[in-house]
Amino acid sequence: MVDRFNPPGMWQPNGRAFSQGVVQGEGAVVHVTGQVAWDEHGNVVGAGDVGTQMDKAIDNIRMVLDEVGGRLADIVSLTIYFLDRADLPVIQRVRALHFPAETAPVSVLVQVPGLVLPEFLVELAPIAVVPDSRFVRPHRPEPRA
């Protein structure tokens, strides 16, 4: 079981979608590569729209976690790289839609000068702990002869 907490006597999330601390429970730790708004064909989704890009990156994360029996609620840590401070309200709103307070991971927001492609406005790098009761080994394609 993962324990999320916000100690009294310090600044609080005040409705924002993160926890001050998360104690990792038992299960498989899943490190997910930084996710951006690429579709399955490598096309950029939501050029110029940080909200759409957040949604697509979170959807990509969901697909990775689904492969091993995980859920977004299993994410214990989320680093968000973004370009423009003006996008923070949208980033926080979309994050809150997908990560309610009771399952909010610890979170780091890092403003960067650029991402891998100039069309990308945001990149998310999560770490999840999938409980042993749900964890399944990921599908691996057969090696080529």
Identify the pLDDT of residue 144.
74
Q: Give the Cα separation of 125 and 140 in Å (integer).
A: 22
Q: Give the Cα separation of 18 and 74 in Å (integer).
A: 13
Q: Is residue 63 pLDDT above 90, yes or no?
A: yes
Condensed to tens digits (0 to 9), the pLDDT of residues 121-141 reads 999 999 999 999 999 988 777
Identify the pLDDT of residue 21.
79
Identify the pLDDT of residue 19.
76
For residues 118 and 44, the answer to whether their CB atoms sit within 8 Å is: no
Condensed to tens digits (0 to 9), the pLDDT of residues 6-58 reads 788 877 777 777 777 777 878 999 999 999 999 999 999 999 999 999 999 99
**Token pair in block for residue 64:** 């990775």
Condensed to tens digits (0 to 9), the pLDDT of residues 107-120 reads 999 999 999 999 99
Q: Is residue 104 pLDDT above 80, yes or no?
A: yes
50-67 helix and 88-98 helix, angle to the nearest 10 degrees: 30
State which amino acid sits at residue 43: N
Q: Is residue 99 pLDDT above 80, yes or no?
A: yes
Identify the pLDDT of residue 62.
97
Where does residue 117 rank: exposed (0-12), middle (13-18), buried (19+ CB within 10 A)? exposed
76-82 mean pLDDT: 97
Q: Give the Cα separation of 58 and 86 in Å (integer).
A: 20
| Model pTM score | 0.87
* Domains observed in the chain: 24-130 (3.30.1330.40)
Identify the pLDDT of residue 4.
72
Q: Quick one: which of 14, 105, 93 has its CA closest to 54? A: 93
